[in-house]
Chains A and B, each alone.
Chain A
Amino acid sequence: MRMKVLRTCLVLLILGSCFGQYATGTGQRSLVVRTALMEPEAMVYARAFENRTGIKVEVVRQSTGVMLSFLKFERDSASGTTIDVLFGGPADAYVIGAREGLFEKYISPERANIARQHMDKDGCWSGVYLGSIGFAVNPNRLAKLGLPTPTCWADLLSPRLRGEISMANPVSSGTGYTVLATLAQMMGKDRAIQYLKALDSNILDYTRSGAMPGKLVGLGQIAVGILFSHDVLAFKQQGYDIDLVFPKEGTGFEIGGIAIVKGTGRLDEAKRFVDFMLSAEGQNLYAAMGEFRLPTNRLAAIPVGAVPFGKINVIEYDVTWAAVHKDDLLEEWMSATGAAGGK
């Protein structure tokens, strides 16, 4: 009898320690968010979410193309995914991810306040912000060069801007690919490739990061950068010598996406993070922290200084088309420019 009690206690003790270990392990793991946003900005959203929910978030910044490639790599590996949420970056990457089954379908209640064209109808991804492509120009550098401020895409082909332009690499960066897809949708694929081939001779550097050309412009290293307007405005607000110009012919835009990675071990926490970033509360943070992203939630405030689409010539950018033709476009761009991972 005594032995029986002892044995029972022992079994309970072992089971208890197992549960304890499991609980401890689960409790200690943070929600892993990979983001295409700049790290300081993404950290603000993460901390805000942590304060609200108590769920720890680990943020890792990567370019959109790299994030997508990493997700594919993890899907094919036996160990499973280490990422819970993908946050930020143009939606064409999310469209590709949804087609490849990389995301969990989740219809967030916050989607009711988001325009239908800014999210996947099946719930694989949703738009968290909008941003248009623009030119970042350094007026002082342009003045030194004796060049006028470029106002259209054609101005960038001026031979006097040789080595004075930078844009993100379309292969690794969502920003870079948005520029490529925008031009393709504006000019047609062949003309766009010809244009980019001509532009290539003026390009100093294809950066991995989409916002990097803006910083180079701000630092006076180059005269012109091609990037999202909200990043240009952010640098300007930080005090850099930089102006934002929208090309007259029209420009494309991005729908910044968010999605839950399929196979995540923290689905509930991931859903809560998605809900938060789709909510007006979450997107109000753009304005609160001086960012210039346009919120997708119609209830959220538009940041002061941000340029609404209605005030510029924004084309009907087709995210799905961009996603479908991504491989072809990238291949043609690489063969035209000779660039793979940047100059």
Chain B
Amino acid sequence: MNRRFRFPIYLKISSAIFLVILVVVAGMSYVTLKRTAHEYKQQVQETGSLIAGMIADYSIEPVIMDNYSSLRPVLADILASNEDVVFIEVMDEKGVSRVDAAWQGGDRARESPDDVTGKVVEVTSPIVAYSRTWGHVRVVCSLSRFHKAVASARLSILGIAAVSCGLGLLMASILSRAILTPIRNLVDHAHLLSKGDLDTPINVQSSDEIGFLAITLEGMRVGLRQFLSSVARRAMSFEGDLHLFGLPAVLSLARTGGRTGGLVLEKSGEVGVVYFQDGEIVDAAFQDKSGTNALYEFFVWREGVFKFSPGLVPTRTTIDLDWPALVLGGARQVNDMAVFTHVIHSPDLVPLSPIWNDRIGDLLDRSDALERLLNAEEKEVLSYVDGVRSIREIGRLKGKDVYEIYPYIYRLVAVGLVQVDEYESSQGHGKNLVADEDGPARQAVDSGKVIQFPMDRVGNIGR
């Protein structure tokens, strides 16, 4: 099976959902990080301000008394005890640095002020006492520790995102595969069904909706198989009701299949057989009659049942007529209005010539031979068939009662030279079915008003 790769819808949906979640989580993480960074910076600034303020308070006396050296150990202690502070400076009132302490590196993960350019927060606090500013304290706090933490957090987020991406796609792939595999199996089975394979069971193990669909499809397969078995069995047995089909149609059906065997006909306890050899009638038997005499007896039956039996192999040949002559001969035996009206429902129907009906067009080649079989009356009636005139009008032209025309029309219909249209002449007679298939005539055929018997039901006699 030619299966082109397609990105499964489930994979698309799960990927889309996953991407949305990823974007949302990444966005939230980014915003949180940004906010944390801002708050951390503020916190560092506040801490720096606090430290600067404390140093400024402590520095009042040393600065006033020029005892800056006494601040050195204090600054060193503050520097050592606060990891974020990298530089402290005490300036006099002229802004000249008098004492400072800078982190020189060492065992702690801190950087010297030179290394943290652009990554620091600077805070300055004035040294105010006795209504005078004596100097300033400048505290430089490094953000490098925070930047490292942020970088680490960012790396963690990216790592988690990458792992999540991989896991998400893997999950999506597994999920879509789990869903798509049984669907593909069902599609394969549907293809097999469409090709007529009703023997391969649909075996999809799933307890979800897919399983339900598989069970339904399997039920359909089994049902189809049973139905076709029944149809086949009936087709093989070839049996039915004469009232429905009519003898000419039944004979034509048996002939079309090129069958060999006996068509058993039964009516009111009377049984007869018509023997076929390769689709041709070679013998018939009814009561004490045989040959065409027996065959023509069956034509006048209004009702009865038939069944084809391949076991009844013909043992003799009593009939040697070609098919049209045989059917025409049989039809001439019928003089029962009930049989006629079974085919011709109304005198207002319009008989159609095969000239206008391509479904029996292949008879045209042999029309001359068929017409030679017809008698003068039959030929005359056939000549009036123009696709416009109704049976009633044909009867008027012939100067006969319309019901007297019925036998001729029946015979012509039986051999396939005429079809009977049901719509009346007053409603647009003369419509050419071939020329205008979408016209009323075609609509009449489609609506079932055109009498199809015998040709439509039994196929082409000439084949």
**Interface majority SS (helix, strand, loop, mixed), chain A:** mixed
Contact of B69 among A60, A207, A208 (CB under 8 A): A60
Chain A residues with CB below 8 A from B70, complex form: 39, 60-62
Q: Map CB proximity to B onto A189-214 as digits: 1 under 8 Å, 0 otherwise.
A: 00000000000000000011101100
Q: Map CB proximity to B onto A26-44 as digits: 1 under 8 Å, 0 otherwise.
A: 0000000000001110000
Chain B residues with CB below 8 A from A39, complex form: 65-70
Chain B residues with CB below 8 A from A59, complex form: 69
Q: Is the CB of B65 within 8 A of A38?
A: yes
Q: Is the CB of B64 within 8 A of A212?
A: yes
* B binding-site residues for A, Cβ under 8 Å: 61-62, 64-70, 72-73, 130
Chain A residues with CB below 8 A from B72, complex form: 60
Q: How far, in Å, is B205 (CB) from chain A's closest CB?
A: 76
A-B contact pairs, 29 of them (CB 8 A): A38-B65, A39-B65, A39-B67, A39-B68, A39-B69, A39-B70, A40-B66, A59-B69, A60-B69, A60-B70, A60-B72, A60-B73, A61-B62, A61-B67, A61-B69, A61-B70, A62-B70, A207-B61, A208-B61, A209-B62, A209-B65, A209-B67, A211-B65, A212-B61, A212-B64, A215-B64, A215-B65, A216-B130, A219-B130
* A binding-site residues for B, Cβ under 8 Å: 38-40, 59-62, 207-209, 211-212, 215-216, 219, 221
The CA of A39 and the CA of B63, in the complex, are separated in Å by: 11
The CA of A263 and the CA of B61, in the complex, are separated in Å by: 31
> 3 closest A-B pairs (Cβ-Cβ)?
A61-B67, A61-B70, A39-B67
Q: Is the CB of A38 within 8 A of B67?
A: yes
Chain B residues with CB below 8 A from A216, complex form: 130
Chain A residues with CB below 8 A from B62, complex form: 61, 209
Chain B residues with CB below 8 A from A209, complex form: 61-62, 65, 67
Q: How far, in Å, is B127 (CB) from chain A's closest CB?
A: 14
With CB as the reference atom, state the residue of chain B lying closest to A221. B130
The CA of A219 and the CA of B132, in the complex, are separated in Å by: 11
With CB as the reference atom, state the residue of chain B lying closest to A208. B61
Chain A residues with CB below 8 A from B61, complex form: 207-209, 212
Chain A residues with CB below 8 A from B68, complex form: 39
The CA of A61 and the CA of B99, in the complex, are separated in Å by: 13
Q: How far, in Å, is A79 (CB) from chain B's closest CB?
A: 13
Q: How far, in Å, is B276 (CB) from chain A's closest CB?
A: 122
The CA of A38 and the CA of B69, in the complex, are separated in Å by: 10
Chain B residues with CB below 8 A from A60, complex form: 69-70, 72-73
Q: Which of B70, B73, B130 counts the most A-chain CB atoms under 10 A from its CB?
A: B70
Q: How far, in Å, is A71 (CB) from chain B's closest CB?
A: 13
Q: How far, in Å, is B429 (CB) from chain A's closest CB?
A: 131
The CA of A38 and the CA of B64, in the complex, are separated in Å by: 11
The CA of A59 and the CA of B68, in the complex, are separated in Å by: 10
With CB as the reference atom, state the residue of chain B lying closest to A207. B61
The CA of A215 and the CA of B72, in the complex, are separated in Å by: 22
Q: How far, in Å, is B58 (CB) from chain A's closest CB?
A: 9
Q: Is the CB of A212 within 8 A of B65?
A: yes
Chain A residues with CB below 8 A from B64, complex form: 212, 215
With contacts A38-B66, A60-B69, A61-B69 known, what are 14 further pairs, Cβ within 8 A? A39-B67, A39-B70, A60-B70, A61-B67, A61-B70, A62-B70, A208-B61, A209-B62, A212-B61, A212-B65, A215-B64, A215-B65, A216-B130, A221-B130
Q: How far, in Å, is A205 (CB) from chain B's closest CB?
A: 10
The CA of A115 and the CA of B332, in the complex, are separated in Å by: 176
Chain A residues with CB below 8 A from B130, complex form: 216, 219, 221
The CA of A211 and the CA of B61, in the complex, are separated in Å by: 10
Q: How far, in Å, is B272 (CB) from chain A's closest CB?
A: 132
The CA of A242 and the CA of B72, in the complex, are separated in Å by: 30
The CA of A216 and the CA of B72, in the complex, are separated in Å by: 24
The CA of A62 and the CA of B65, in the complex, are separated in Å by: 12
The CA of A209 and the CA of B65, in the complex, are separated in Å by: 8
Chain B residues with CB below 8 A from A221, complex form: 130
The CA of A40 and the CA of B98, in the complex, are separated in Å by: 12
Chain A residues with CB below 8 A from B67, complex form: 38-39, 61, 209
With CB as the reference atom, state the residue of chain B lying closest to A33. B69
The CA of A59 and the CA of B61, in the complex, are separated in Å by: 17
Chain A residues with CB below 8 A from B65, complex form: 38-39, 209, 211-212, 215
Chain B residues with CB below 8 A from A215, complex form: 64-65
Chain A residues with CB below 8 A from B69, complex form: 39, 59-61
With CB as the reference atom, state the residue of chain A lying closest to B129. A221
The CA of A40 and the CA of B69, in the complex, are separated in Å by: 10
Chain A residues with CB below 8 A from B66, complex form: 38-40
The CA of A62 and the CA of B72, in the complex, are separated in Å by: 10
With CB as the reference atom, state the residue of chain B lying closest to A231. B65
The CA of A221 and the CA of B131, in the complex, are separated in Å by: 9
With CB as the reference atom, state the residue of chain A lying closest to B131. A221
The CA of A209 and the CA of B59, in the complex, are separated in Å by: 12
